[in-house]
Amino acid sequence: MSTLTELLAHLTLSSVVDIALVALLFFALFYLIKGTRAVQLLRGIMLVVLLAVIASNLFHLTAFSWLIRNSIPALLVAIPVIFQPELRRALERIGRGTFLARSPATALPVISAIVRGASMAAKNRCGALIVLEGETGLQEFVDTGVRLDAQLSADLIATIFANHTALHDGAIIVRDDRIVAATCMLPLSESSLERELGTRHRAALGVTEGTDATAVVVSEETGQIAVAHNGRLVRRLDEGELNRVLLRLYHPAHARKNGRVG
């Protein structure tokens, strides 16, 4: 009790600010890696370090303690390498200023068409992958597909992804209120996924790990709908849930800059 009293007596405004900034930094770090494989990596690193410190102090292992102390600088260098995807994503989000962004009301027609198109594909058990471009340009992926530049509609989405059509495979990319390309090839995520999830889900995660895009996936095997954003996957969505998720996640660059979609 006396120790706590002494600490409070020496507490100043700058100390409070210092502690708050450190706490905020750790909160932001955990928020950014939440739901990613970095959580397991960070947990493993903390566990190994904790066990090493306890073992060296408990058994007075001089050589081992020396090794741990001298390994800390190397660990600090290794952390940016290990968490490179998460750090890159965080810096991109800071640069875009999208931490507190909200979808504009003008995006509602786009979201409505996506929701209805995905629901139609799910009912017909047609696999689908719809990528909604944000502020980060997706032109490199557009160039891998077939250019359409067509007005977005639920019927067109259902037609493109109907079984045995020429444009069925790959992803469609939506820019503002237009489908700019179909059969686009996307990078595949290296994250560990459940066995039932296939290439479409891995591609959806892959494109959202490096950009601010939002991807809607319809499973051909189960007809279930999922949404990928910021390298995270939300699964088993019905039509209403899909609409609510897209309202929270989709931030079209054109609408924010010009106040309209299309």
Residue 72 is part of which domain span? Answer: 2-96
The pLDDT of residue 184 is: 96
| 109 and 64 within one domain | no
The pLDDT of residue 185 is: 95
| 242 and 164 within one domain | yes
| 138 and 190 within one domain | yes
Which of 49, 70, 96 finishes a domain? 96
| 245 and 218 within one domain | yes
- Count of residues making up the chain: 262
CATH label of the domain that carries residue 183: 3.40.1700.10
Q: What is the DSSP-derived secondary structure letter of residue 37?
A: T
Q: Name the residue with tokens 């002494």.
A: 6
| 189 and 69 within one domain | no
The pLDDT of residue 141 is: 93
Provide the token pair at 101.
């962004």
| 219 and 194 within one domain | yes
The pLDDT of residue 111 is: 93
- pTM given for the model: 0.64
| 188 and 231 within one domain | yes
| 109 and 91 within one domain | no
| 119 and 46 within one domain | no
In whole angstroms, what is the distance from residue 68 CA to residue 253 CA? Answer: 48
- Within 13 A of 236's CA, how many CA atoms are on the CB side? 1
Q: Within 10 A of 77 (CB to CB), how many other CB atoms are there? A: 9
pLDDT digit of tens for each residue in the chain (262 aa)?
A: 566 676 666 777 887 888 889 888 878 777 766 655 566 677 777 787 788 778 777 777 788 778 877 877 877 777 777 667 666 666 666 665 554 444 555 588 999 999 999 999 999 999 999 999 987 788 999 999 999 999 999 999 999 999 888 898 899 999 988 999 999 999 998 877 787 788 999 999 999 987 889 999 999 988 999 999 988 899 999 999 999 999 888 866 544 444 433 3
- Judged by DSSP in three states, 179 sits in strand
| 21 and 83 within one domain | yes
The pLDDT of residue 256 is: 42
| 75 and 36 within one domain | yes
In one-letter notation, the amino acid at residue 152 is L
Q: Tally the domains of the chain.
A: 2
Cα separations in angstroms, 98 against 103, 106, 119, 132? 10, 17, 28, 16
Which of 96, 129, 157 finishes a domain? 96
Which of 30, 62, 96 finishes a domain? 96
| 239 and 209 within one domain | yes
